[in-house]
Structure 1
Amino acid sequence: MKVDIWSDIACPWCYIGKRRFEAGLKNFAHADDVEIAWHSFQLDPSLPEHYDGSEVDYLVERKGMPRAGVEQMTAHVKAQAAEVGLDYDFDNLVVANSLRAHRLLHLAARHGVADAVKEALLSAHFERGVDIGDPDRLVEIGTAAGLAADEVRAALDDETLGAEVEADFARARAYGIQGVPFYVIDEKFGVSGAQPAEVFTDALNQAWADAHPLVMPVAEGAVCGPDGCDPVEQKASDAK
């Protein structure tokens, strides 16, 4: 079973959703048979490489909301993050364009360390006040996951990786994805948003049942009627 996940590194609900999905997956009986693929999505492609202001400043400007409303919203998100063990620090968060970080994520996927790099990027952005638009910081994140420093630095402006990121954007549009996180299970079932863990478990169970329909074998030549199945039942009793 494959789960494709679209998310942005600069998306607070995407990190919360990652934790909730992991909890839901943990309660799924066939978790070892699940392949996870991370896909790129940008909530605001127009962001400059470096924004001169806080997360609250950015949201006030971008959404046109009153500052008090934005502060209330970020406090709510911080509380939700804490419930899944995350320590969001909006005061020190560095608002930056996530495009280069997405290229790093695609490089990580080629080396089988996408989940580790995704986790590190989200933590760096929301918990540790790291500038995810800074090439030096991205090299640090990549090398911590076992990638070569020169390969990471080259990847940040690599056109081929950039095309892979753009392909993710295009595929999201084809699916009609307008917000993240968004989960596509076996290209059939979609889950939108940072849902509770049990929602993910239910969705995984539904997808598994759909892909593995239960078939009850009947002995060759047996015929079942209103009064039972003979000689199948006789054979079963003989075996006792």
Structure 2
Amino acid sequence: MTDAIKIDVWSDIACPWCYIGKRNLEAGLAETTGDADAPKVEVTYHSFELSPDTPVDFDGDISDFLAEHKGISREQAAQMHEHVTGVAANAGLEYHFEKLQHTNTVKAHELIHFAKANGKQVEMSERLMAAYFTEGRHVGRVDDLVALAAEVGLDADAAREALESDRHLADVRADQAQATAYGIQGVPFFVIDGKYGVSGAQPPAAFAQIARQVWGERAAASAS
């Protein structure tokens, strides 16, 4: 039996294109499930902080942050947000930048590693992104993160202990070091079977195509 294709995804839960990329990846893989020899795929999410200098409680909205730290005017930010909201809608996502609470994401990444250790990584990543972009929830404070962990079925007390002890901070840093080693400078970034790199929120068809290609290469190699 052929082993599953490994797809390693570097992303930040506060990256709008990462959530779109996640949804497009899922849609693309779903397209392949009806194949006679459907690819088996295992997806793992890895930590990448787009704005590690952001305070947990940022005084202002996302447009203020972009103006202060990225030199982008509020007008430019509004245009960017309008565009990405439309792209997100095409992927079946509902973004609300007017509700968004910009924050530091390192604790959210620690929580995703805690969830991974407890078999809930994909669910936790999805919950955090939805909380941030759709619901305007705060995803930087321990209390808020513990509540979100409980919503996906994780033990709240264990999640709190993991976050307060920084138990998974080394895992976050290891992901970031691997991203640097790969030369990843922006996210989302997808590494397929450790040999193919795919940058950006590609359309579902692109993910379906590469899954089929790699699966076919596997089958050819095993037959030879």
Could you state the TM-score of these two structures normalised by the residue count of structure 1? Answer: 0.86
Q: Is residue 2:188 matched to residue 1:187?
A: no
Whole-Å Cα distance in 1 between the matches of residues 38 and 195 of structure 2? 18
Whole-Å Cα distance in 1 between the matches of residues 107 and 172 of structure 2? 10
Partner of 1:5: 9
Deviations 1:48-106 (A, max 9, x none): 11111111111122210222111101110111111112111111100000000101100
Match of 2:64 among 57, 67, 88: 57
Partner of 2:27: 23
Q: Percent sequence identity over matched residues?
A: 46
Match of 1:124 among 114, 117, 131: 131
Number of positions where the alignment pairs a residue of Structure 1 with one of Structure 2:
217
- Verify the 8 A CA contact 2:12 2:105 in the aligned structure 1: yes
Larger RCO (CA under 8 A, 6+ residues apart): 2
Q: Is residue 2:196 matched to residue 1:165?
A: no
What amino acid does structure 1 have at the position aligned with 2:24? R
Structure 2, unaligned runs of 5 or more = none
Distance 1:91 1:7, change over 3 A: same
What amino acid does structure 2 have at the position aligned with 1:53? G
Whole-Å Cα distance in 2 between the matches of residues 102 and 127 of structure 1? 19
- Give the RMSD, CA atoms, in angstroms: 1.6
Large movers: runs of 4+ above 6 Å:
214-217
2:56 is paired with a residue of what secondary structure?
A: coil
Deviations 1:7-47 (A, max 9, x none): 00110001111111111111124666211111000001111
Structure 1 or 2, whichever has the larger Rg, is 1
What amino acid does structure 2 have at the position aligned with 1:2? K
Distance 1:211 1:59, change over 3 A: same
- Verify the 8 A CA contact 2:110 2:172 in the aligned structure 1: yes
Structure 1, unaligned runs of 5 or more = 218-240
What amino acid does structure 2 have at the position aligned with 1:8? D
- Verify the 8 A CA contact 2:12 2:49 in the aligned structure 1: yes
- Verify the 8 A CA contact 1:189 1:203 in the aligned structure 2: no
